[in-house]
Every structure is written in C-alpha cells, then in structure tokens.
Structure 1
Amino acid sequence: MIENKFKKLRFAFNLRTSWFSCNAVIMEYQITANQYRKSGSFSYQIRALLSCYINIVLDTHLTHFTHTLTFSYILSLAMAASQVHLQFLILFFCYSYIMCSALTFTHKTRHPGFTIDLIHRDSPNSPLHNPAKTRYEHLSEAFSRSTSRATHFTAASRAASAVQASVVPAGGEYLMNISIGTPPVRVLGIADTGSDLTWTQCKPCVQCYEQKLPIFDPKKSSSYNPVPCGSPTCYTNLASRTCDPDGTCSYYYSYGDKSYTNGVLATEVVTFGPNTPPFPGVSIGCGHENDGTFNEKGSGLIGLGGGGLSLIRQLKPSIGAQFSYCLVPYFETTSASKISFGPKASVNGPGAVSTPLVKKDPSTFYYLTLESIGIGNVTLDYKKQSAHYYTEEGNIIIDSGTTLTLLPKEFYDKLEGELEKVIKGERIQDPEGSMGLCYKTKKDLEVPVITARFAGADVQLKAINTFVRVEEDMVCFAMVPASEVAIFGNLAQINFLVGYDLDEGRVSFKPTDCSKHAV
C-alpha cells in the first residue's frame, strides 16, 4: 500500500502536474504517518518527497501556503528519522528550502510591469488619423461605432450559452504597438477590452486586406509553434475551431460589422517595446484569411478581455493579471494615453475607489454593478428604474472601445429629465439624430457633477466625462439610451486612472490628470 502511494507521488512528479496533485498525495501520507515510521524504506520515502517538493517549490505559480504545507510535513518526517544520514538530509533540505524560496521570490518580482502608449485612433498622433476630416466628423463616426459596438455586445451576450458563439464586438477606439516573433515583427493593433484573441495577418495570405506594415511570416520566426488540435488551449478557449489536415488548431472569428479573421492558433514570443521583457509561449492567431473594415495602417487586434485567450490572462504567470489605463482628452496633441501591465498597473492612494468585477458569460466582458446615478442631491436608483435585466449584479459593461455611455431607455429618460431641470441653456436637436440632450452654445456649458455609484465605489464625473462638443456651437450629453446592453464608455473614463485586477476581481478608479500621468 505504501509503495503504491509512492508510485502515485512519482507519477504526479514525472508528469509535472500541478502542485495540487503533489499535495493531495502528501495529505494522504499524513494520514498514514504511523505506517511510515514502521516502514523499512523510510530513506526512499523522504527522498521521493524531497524530489517532489524541490520541483514544486521552484514553480513560481505556488503560494507561500503551499510551500509551508509541504515543508511542515517533511519536518514531521524528520522527527521520526533516527538515522544520522537522514537527519543530515533533512538539514540539507532546510537550507535548500530557504534558498529555493528566495529564488522563487526573486523570480516573482523580476518583472515589475511596464507602461506603453495607448493611441486614440482619431488622434492627430494616430496613423489612422484622417486630416481631411474635422474633429466633429471624427466624433460623429465614433458615436456611430458606439451604436454598432453595442449591437454586437448584445449579440455576443445572447449567444454566450451557445457552443458556436464567435461573434465579438467590432473594433475599438485605441491602438497599441506590440511585437511578435523572433526576430520581432511590429504589430499595430486595436486594443480591445471586448475581445480575447490577439491576432495579426500572416503569410501565406489566402485573403488578406491591404496592410502598410510588413505582414508577419511565421516561417521566418524561430519561436513560432502551431497549437495542436488536442491541446486544451484549442478546445477550451475557442468557440469556433477546426482541425487542419496537419493536426494544427485553426480558429474563426467574425466581427459585428461582417469583418472576420480565419487562421492558425500558435504560440509566439510577444514583446511590448525595447525596455520590456519578452514573453514566450503566448497564444496568438496567425490570420491567413482576413477581410472587412480593417484599416490598412493597422495589422491586427490585441485582445484585452477577461477570457482564457486574452493577453491579460496569458501574462498572469509572469506579471500578474493586472492592467490599467489613463485616457487623455480626445484630440490631445501634447501627450498620449498610457496603458500599464503587471504590478505597475496598481491603482491605489488618495481618491482611489474600487468595485467588484462580476463573473458572467461571456467571460470576455468586464461586468460591473451600477446601483444609482446622482445629480446634486437627487439620486436615481438604477435597479428600480430599469428593466429586469438591469436589476441583477453585473448590470453594466465597462469598455474602452465604446465612446458613449449607454443606459437603459427608461432610466435614461429620467436622467435626462433631471439634467434639464438644472442646466440653463437653449436646448436644440442633434441634426445627426444620434444624441439626445443637446444645447446651443459656443461657450463651455455649466453642468452639474454626475456621480456614477457602482457597488462600493462612487465615481464623480465632471463635464469632460458627460458632455461633448459635437459642433462649434453645440454641446451634447455623452450618454444615450440603449435597448438591452448598458456600457460605461471611454468618454466617462477620461482623466481617470482605471485599473483592472483580475486576480482580486475588481476595477478601480482614481481621478488623474492623464496628460501628466507619471509612468
């Protein structure tokens, strides 16, 4: 019986299974400790346990509790050891434990995180910027993209329970640069908190949209590895997948605007700039067939959602599942928005507030619970004023890729009515028909502070977050009615340091002058 248990332990070790497998066996040993003391193969027992422990203690995924549990058990074995050579072995182990723990701690703190630029697609600093259009035309297009994106959030939410769900929100509003491969090839991608898969166009192209940047050639990268069909990465993280004749995992993603990408799932080295470490083994999509509304100056999409294939989840073992961004006002030319990853993304200090992330399907989206909105002394109860869907926890999605904030119509109508009572100005109709509450003025409009009260976090929104100039003589409310899905958009997040901590399950807000945000 004892020998079988040790075979089980060695089997767990040889397969390099999780620390839990080893500890499950160790717990079994504790139950039969008396049998160990009577066993003639006591030396073998300790050596087997040490072999397992030294391997799991070097695993940087382990907690201090895990180390302590295993360490405590082996010390209990030492108490039963009468042979001198075994006592010496235990002393050697104690020294090894201290050294291994130190190495583990050092490894865990090796990468403090990093910060890079986040570029609004319509900013004059963006390669996608069209100088022939006015800022108001850019804004009008961004508002239209908000409506389109909301439609496809709705479609994705409805399809969450379906195995074949593959429609994800179209695009986003911010861009970031990464590099993939060895040697590294630059990718300018849309940074999307509403998608998981990071992908770029790849050679050979079956159907590729026109791209100014060089198209990635996997044959020229020494670190490119296709993911096999039998891999858990393929069959647990991809809704629409097939098995290629060569046994590799292929994916298919369709976007709400009829754009799509189809290609091979592979692992690659990803880097974020000259001063950041390389991250090997990151799953990406190598798109051989891509078409739709993608811009020729971009080369893919960077998935920052909450699902298993997202960049955030994949970087967790190295730097933790944290990221934050600080968005400067639209059309800012003297400074750029920033996005940080790892410990560097922590949001704390005076003024910081946090609200829980709510786990819902699809796991890609970041759900918060909005309880009410305040205007001065008036509080509008979000849950009581809204349809049944909005009374639940996780009743609003926070998204960097949607410009406007979308609220359920019945609640929006009451909110607009309260604002009309306190804002002094000449109300006019938006000629585009996309905005609800608009005023005619060439000056800054005096508006009240609006407080978005999330569970455990009051976020005070200033005029820059709630009203936007859409014409030279017209200012409009940056919140609009929605039919089903509520979204807290990026205008409402300007000049906030917004942090997502997937390890702790929370989103934090801290009022910040993002044009002066230290990196």
Structure 2
Amino acid sequence: MASVPKLLLLLFLCSDHSLIAHAGDAHEYKVLSLDSMKSDAVCSENTVSAAPSSAGAATVPLHHRHGPCSPLTTKKMPTLKEMLRRDQLRAAYIQWKFSSGGATGKFSKGGAGDVEQSDAATVPTTLGTSLDTLEYVITVKLGSQAATQTMLIDTGSDVSWVQCKSCSQCHSQADPLFNPSSSRTYSPFSCSSSTCTQLGQEGNGCSTSSQCQYIVTYGDGSSTTGTYSSDTLALGSNTVKNFQFGCSQVESGFNDQTDGLMGLGGGPQSLASQTAGTFGTAFSYCLPPTSSSSGFLKLGAGTSGFVKTPMLRSSQVPTFYGVRLQAIRVGGRQLSIPASVFAAGAVMDSGTVITRLPRTAYSALSSAFKAGMRQYPRAPPNGILDTCFDFSGQRSVTIPSVVLVYSGGAVVNLVANGVILDSCLAFAGNSDDSSLGIIGNVQQRTFEVLYDVGGGAVGFRTGAC
C-alpha cells in the first residue's frame, strides 16, 4: 500500500519459472496449469535462491496474506471484482502524483552514486493480501523486547509504522500491539529535531509533550497518525539501531490483520534509505510464485547476475522507482508499437496488481494475444480486465508468450501465470498514451527484482523463488 489504497488480490500462480535473456525468446507458447491457480491448502516453505551477496546476509521470508504460510489469521479472500476496483484506485493515485494534479514530476535517469556495501540483510517475504490489495508481508522484531511485528512491504511508501499499545483507534491485528513503554531503546523524536522537519507534508505538528507527530493518508482515504519515533529493528539476524518509524495511535480504513507497513520507497524515511549506510544502496525482493510458498526481501543485495535497465527517478516524487519499456513481444513476434508511446516511463510497484500500459501499447498487446488464443472462446470482461477467455472443462491451456523489453536490453519473459489472471489477460490500458505506466506485481512473480539505487538500475533475475 504505497501512499495509495490497499488492494486485494487472489494469487494465481503456477510452478514454471520465467526466463530472462538479452535477446530472443525461449518459447513462443507456454502451458498454464489451471490446477495451479487453485488455492493451496498446505504450506510448503520453498528454498529461495537469492543472488550472492556479502557475508552476513539475513533473509526475511515473505508470504501470501491469505495463504497457508501466512502468519495472519484472516483467510477470507476478496472477490476479483473488488480487488480490481481497489487496484484501479491505487493506480490512479500513483498516476495523479505525476500529473498536473500532483507534483508534475517527470522521470529522469539517475542514481545516488555508489556506496560501499557492508553486511547484507535479507528477510523472508510472504505474499499477504490485506484489505483489497495484494500485499506481501514480512515478520520483524521491534524494540529491546524483540516484539514480533508482521508488516506489509511497499515500494510505493516511505514512512514505516506499526500500531502501538493504548492507541485510541486501531484495527485488530495478528500480533500484540507494540508497547513503547516496554522497550528500553524506544525514543520519540522531538518537534525541533531535523528528523521531524524532514517529514515534510507527512509531519503532523506536535503533541502536548512536544513529541513529533506524523500523518500518512493513502489514496483510498485510509490514514494513520501518531508519534514519530525510533527503536531497534531486527531483520533476521541483523539489527538496525535507531530505526525511524511511526507509532500509530489513530488510524482508519484498515480492515486486515497486519501490524503495520514497512516503506521501501526512495524517500529518506524508508527502510532502504535509512539502512543505505550500513547495507549499501541496493535491495531486492522475490515475490513468491504461489500462496503456499515464500520469497524474500534483501537489504544489501548483490548486483551481479541480473539483466538491468536504467532506473528512472523524479526529484519531485522521490518515493517511486521508474523504468522504461521499449517493446513488447507476443508469441515470439515484436508488436508494432512506436517507441514514443513508452516515453512517459513506468513505475515498478510491489503493491499494484495489474500492469498498466499506454493505450496504444495495450491495444496492440490485446489484439495479438487474442489472435494467439483463437482456440478458446471469449468471455465477458471482468472489471478493468477486458481480454478474457472461457476455459471451462480445461485442465491446462496453451498461451502465447509475453515478453517485456526494457531500455538497455533487459528482456523479461513472463511466467504463464504472470500473463493470465482468473482467465483474463493480466494487463490493463491507460486512457491515453501520455499517462504513466505501472509494472504490477503479477508480472514480477518468481523474479528477483533488484533496486540498485546507487547504481541507477533496476534488475531482473529469473527463477529466484
């Protein structure tokens, strides 16, 4: 849930792994097992294969919010209709941030400069579905008492927060509320501190005791406010001292069981930015392929073994990480799409479910995909998904490959269930060609996605979880 709505997603994944190559497509067609799209009843902790990094790496598992591996108790799945409705809210909010209604930010190529990297911290990630969103959750320890906290991860948010004991308005959660008075290392920031000033528009003045207050309002109207503080954070076997986060006292609009949110955006408040001096300016994650398996989040990620594309950033909207598509291939053939169609760039987002493409690009993709699926009857649209098929009576289906070609030569051959969601093509079109694109998490599954902020690149490594 970036500074945006929370959206819910059914996880439809199969066990085949995506292929990445610098040129050429390995297969023109892929087989999708429809049985793999059914909910798994038993947790099977898969062995992740995070790319090599420096010694001392800590891996935090990541799980599906409603899957059998989830540490959360609520297993009720949302309807696809509701999931898509909330996904559209999130996408619209991100696009607004870059429009005249937002900060009129534009992407440009750039990195923060190389930072010497020491020990890496890796934490397991699990796919977690909160209220109306596909969210991935990690379990961390907070405070001197090492209180367990199950938190959403989001590359579209900067301020991290957890619900704190004695909150006047908070939602039910899986773990006990964090109790600041039980932690010897907990410390609220004063209103006069530079850290408080740095909050900018997410600052919310002072409490009666002159403690710094924060407020974050998301695109669906949900919000959290409380005291901006610091404490010790444990990520696997690694410890982060003086971790800055919000101690939430009043919130609204959250109906999941998570304890809070871990921001991984590009702003100074995010976990990635706070720990850059210790772990370096690169982090990565792998979103798990099924609801019964796990992925990982890694701080201090190694940067070799990936195909890479330049990272685009906006000084006015620093939270988001951008990339630029160059072409799309379907069934081994490159679509006839002018390069100028992709000029606005696209946000690489862990919280948006469905990839949004410029209208011209989506129309070409939809037409080519339908041509490659002539053997299956068409089905009515499902919300924002308008390229749908009737797979009644089928155990498996054969679909044309879909390959995303990024600037710089990174070629990403999507897994079959990174293409199909509930019998529909898992892409949607913007209303025009000028709006910002978004690369959603359906198209990221099973890849290790690298955010090399210092090196100014986004990378992809196949079959990482």
Q: Do the structures match in fold with TM over 0.5?
A: yes
Consecutive unaligned residues of structure 1, counting only runs of 5 or more, are: 1-108, 163-168, 515-519
8 Å contact kept, 1:347–1:498: no
Q: 1:459 and 2:401 equivalent?
A: no
For residue 436 of structure 1, what is the amino acid of its counterpart? D
8 Å contact from structure 2 (residues 59, 296) kept in 1? yes
Structure possessing the higher relative contact order (Cα contacts under 8 Å, 6 or more residues apart): 2
How big is the shift at 1:112? 3.3
2:273 partner SS: helix
Cα distance, 1:200 vs. partner?
0.6
C-alpha change, 1:382 and 1:197, in structure 2 (3 Å) is farther
Please say if residues 138 and 153 of structure 2, whose CA atoms lie closer than 8 Å, have aligned partners that are also in contact.
yes
Structure 1 counterpart of 2:87, from 146, 152, 156: 146
Q: Is the 8 A contact 1:348 1:510 kept in 2?
A: no
SS in 1 for 2:313: coil
TM-score, normalised with respect to structure 1: 0.68
- Shift in alpha-carbon separation, 1:482–1:427, aligned structure 2, 3 A: farther
- Specify the alignment match of 2:211 in structure 1: 248
Q: Deviations over 1:11-32 (max 9, x none)?
A: xxxxxxxxxxxxxxxxxxxxxx
Matches within 5 A, 1:86-101: none
Higher strand share: 2
* CA displacement at 1:252 relative to structure 2: 0.9
Mapped pair 1:359 → 2:319:
no
Partner of 1:336: 294
Bigger drift between 281-290 and 477-486 goes to 477-486
Q: CA RMSD in A?
A: 2.5
Distance in 1 separating the partners of 2:375 and 2:194? 59
The residue number in structure 1 matching 2:242 is: 281
Residue 70 of structure 2 is matched in structure 1 by: 126
> What secondary structure, in the 3-state scheme, does the structure 1 residue paired with 2:59 have?
strand
Per the alignment, do residues 380 and 250 of structure 1 end up closer, same or farther by CA in structure 2, a change over 3 Å counting?
farther
Distance 2:54 2:384 in 1: 49
Residues in 2 aligned to 1:328 and 1:110: alpha-carbon distance in whole angstroms: 23
Q: How does 1:415-454 map to 2 (within 5 A)?
A: 415-430=365-380, 432-441=382-391, 442-454=394-406
CA pair 328-208 structure 1, distance change in 2 beyond 3 A: closer
Give distance in 1, aligned partners of 2:448 and 2:406: 16
Mapped to 1, the partners of 2:381 and 2:388 lie a distance apart of 10
- Give the number of the structure whose alpha-carbon radius of gyration is greater: 1
1:219 corresponds in structure 2 to: 181
Q: Tell me the CA shift for residue 431 of structure 1.
A: 5.7
SS at match of 1:288: strand
Query: Per the alignment, do residues 372 and 282 of structure 1 end up closer, same or farther by CA in structure 2, a change over 3 Å counting?
Result: same
Q: Note if contact 2:387-2:425 (Cα within 8 Å) is conserved in structure 1.
A: yes
Asked if the contact 2:170/2:251 (under 8 Å) is kept, the reply is yes
Equivalent in the alignment of 1:231? 193
**1:20 match:** none
The answer to whether the 8 Å contact 1:113/1:319 transfers is no
Aligned match of 1:303 = 263
Residue 235 of structure 1: SS of its match in structure 2?
Answer: helix
Q: Which amino acid aligns with 1:268?
A: D
In 2, the alpha carbon distance for the partners of 1:358 and 1:382 equals 20
Alpha-carbon distance, 1:247 to partner: 2.6
TM-score (norm: length of structure 2)? 0.75
Aligned twin of 1:258: 221
**SS of aligned partner of 1:153:** helix
1:478 pairs with 403, 426, 436, which one?
426
Whichever residue aligns with residue 247 of structure 1, its letter is S
Distance (whole Å) between structure 1 residues aligned to residue 91 and residue 361 of structure 2: 17
Q: Could you tell me whether the CA contact under 8 Å between 2:173 and 2:259 is conserved in 1?
A: yes
SS of the residue corresponding to residue 125 of structure 1 reads: coil
Matched with 1:114 is 58
* Displacement after TM superposition at 1:270 (Å): 0.6
- Partners of 2:324 and 2:198 in 1: how far apart? 28
Residue in 2 that maps onto 1:292: 253
1:22-171 matches, within 5 Å, as: 112-128=56-72, 131=75, 133=77, 139-158=80-99, 160-161=102-103
Give the direction of change, closer, same or farther, for the CA distance of 1:458–1:132 in structure 2 (3 Å limit): closer
Are the structure 2 counterparts of residues 110 and 497 from structure 1 closer, same or farther at C-alpha, using a change threshold of 3 Å? closer
**1:336-376 Cα shifts (integer Å, max 9, x gaps):** 1222221xx22433xx3001111113111111111221222
- Aligned to 1:239, the other structure's residue is in SS state helix
Where do 1:182-193 residues align within 5 Å? 182-193=144-155
- The question of whether the paired residues in 2 share the 8 Å contact of 1:171 and 1:190 is answered with no
Distance 1:236 1:226 in 2: 15
Structure 2 stretches lacking a partner, 5+ long: 1-52, 105-130
Provide the rounded CA distance (Å) in 2 between the counterparts of 1:131 and 1:251: 31
Alpha-carbon spacing, 1:121–1:138, altered in 2? closer, same or farther (3 Å): farther
Matched, 1:179 2:133: no
SS of the residue 1:216 aligns to: coil
Whole-angstrom distance in 2 between the partners of 1:229 and 1:294? 31
Q: Distance in 2 between matches of 1:347 and 1:141?
A: 38
User: May I ask how many residue pairs the two structures share in their alignment?
Assistant: 378
Deviation at 1:452, TM superposition (A): 0.9
1:510 is aligned to 2:461? yes
User: Which stretch of the first structure deviates more once superposed, 395-404 or 375-384?
Assistant: 375-384
Rounded Cα–Cα distance in structure 1 between residues aligned with 2:261 and 2:132: 10
